[in-house]
Structure 1
């Protein structure tokens, strides 16, 4: 068994709550060499809590002898950091969104191929045991599919991380924050390609690319299992000051419709995330818990009907944690040559849909 020397770029919430503890828990697969973050508070907290060495800059971390990096930094930094790691000959695991633009993702895929390394995107739902079981338990076919529904209400992480060891770094230099914000604006403008409103910017970077993207990726996997091709975007709306995002995609020339809505409800400590597929005589529903509640199983329910007789089955696949399993998958792809479950090509497909939703939202404002 090969043990990989790994570094973590970014010591924010996702790294402190998930990636760093999970890498340390997988000590037989990974040796965590160090973590980099521009916040001295975050670096010191990680060092004090986990005994992990801290580095001020990604370059200092990349100068260490590494096999792979896990990137959990702010979204607009992903592009340059992934390319920097690949240029050093490292395998890369990067949180979603990989990039805002499919064109930038294509750059990463080309750099990956030149380096002969692997890039995996952090769509942990693909590793959820109930999601994997759902792919094997679809109660219908493309010919009987009628609709796909995604509904999410989310207060963000605050109700679900209070029991975790986490400390926010509020001491990042202002000039670094300003540079990241400017970089983000430029990346989004290039991705969308038409004039942006502030609402569209907030919705694209927030409700769409930071939240709904998980469900877009998950639904794409379910549609692939049914051999349903990509559809046509027919509706989109960004609302609630960018905390809400809605979309509609026509599938199979109008035989079925995929609708999706994500809304952040900041002061309501309730999380619900549902993906439901309806067929002529059956349905399948995945109800996800907050992703921060580790080892809490996703509920998978299949309903079928023969006349008036309704059969409801709750399927249980186990208690494995998706955040842990995606790191196992990353290790297996590198060491054993297992398929990369979430390659850049999947991220490009997901991001292209979100770009299309945003463009349609903007076109509706001017029509």
Structure 2
């Protein structure tokens, strides 16, 4: 059984769609230092069903009414990408902390404006790059920070699979949908380049930055064949390390995600699983210090729950922020837009120079 701390962050979840059902409601129920205080959606049937299933203290059909609740501490934004910035802005204005699903936004200007709102509010905004709470990747980051020395190069790949939905349909509960659900204008999947980059590229770029630091420039090419999209992206890190990122949707094989990282005093090789297995990455760390491979067990693979617990630790106890902050979210958006610009121009693009939307 889950043991709850006496002091708990009172969380409201905005959006009762699949990502909330698969990840965030369960995280609130299981987190040691948080509780599901409220849920909100414009779809009354979803709110009623999720309320009966997960037992929040309060349910709302109106977001502003949930934000007006004086007992509410923080909001998880679990809506469509197009609504992330505005929903975050309204929560901050109401004096609530925010954990916003990735990607933070879809344009440079809107996420930069949101950053100003975060600074003015004095509140915490954490971006839902939950792979930062994969214990295997955390141990790799610790080795890079504490022992590896200079980083020489990173190769990382994120390859969705044609068999992904066969796998996820078997391991996930059946998602509940509603005809009343609020949808963004237009079809997000109408432009698959944009859709795949936002859904998957944000993970790849943030993992690269988590391990190797800021990205200053990308040089990308895109190959499209038989309905598949493959971005090969050469990356320049601020510390002088070289990087090569492979984003492919979808490979004709199993889910294929991982990395190889070479440094002055060791190397890291990692295999990452489909996130809905809730299985930590298998990470092998070779240290020149003892000429030995090390692999952490990393038994706890509930990244979403660990992400919420880290968020709550920061808010309740002042612990250092372990997740992605507003600047990390902006950097991810900039990297994705720079990649699109590089593909279009055939030239390298510096992240600091991009503007507009993906």
TM-score by length of 1: 0.80
Cα distance, 1:23 vs structure 2: 0.4
Question: How many correspondences in the alignment?
Answer: 335
Contact persistence 1:208–1:354 (CA under 8 A): yes
CA contact (8 A) 2:171 2:276 kept: no
Q: Does 1:218 align with 2:225?
A: no
Q: 1:346 and 2:328 equivalent?
A: yes
Give the conservation status (yes or no) of the 8 Å contact 1:94–1:119.
Answer: yes
In the TM superposition, 1:1-367 aligns within 5 A as: 2-26=7-31, 29-52=33-56, 53-65=58-70, 66-138=72-144, 140-142=148-150, 145-155=152-162, 156=164, 159-172=167-180, 176-177=182-183, 180-182=184-186, 201-204=191-194, 206-224=195-213, 230-237=215-222, 239=224, 244-251=229-236, 257-265=242-250, 270-279=254-263, 283-294=267-278, 296-303=279-286, 312-340=293-321, 341-364=323-346
Per the TM alignment, residue 182 of structure 1 is displaced from its structure 2 partner at its CA by 4.6
**Given the two structures, how large is their TM-score scaled by the length of structure 2?**
0.82
Q: 1:272-302 deviations in whole A, cap 9, x for unaligned?
A: 21122134795312211111112x2210013
Q: Are the aligned partners of 1:203 and 1:243 in contact in 2 as well (CA < 8 Å)?
A: no
Query: How far 1:7 moved relative to its partner?
Result: 0.8
CA contact (8 A) 1:41 1:171 kept: no
Q: Report the Cα distance in structure 2 between the residues aligned to 1:60 and 1:158, rounded to whole angstroms.
A: 39
Distance 1:220 1:321 in 2: 22
Q: Determine the structure 1 residue equivalent to 2:350.
A: none
Instruction: Extract unaligned runs of 5+ from structure 1.
Output: 186-197
Displacement of 1:115 in angstroms is 1.6
CA RMSD of aligned residues (A): 3.1
Query: Does the CA contact (< 8 Å) of 2:33 and 2:313 recur in 1?
Result: no
* d(CA) in 2 for partners of 1:135, 1:360: 28
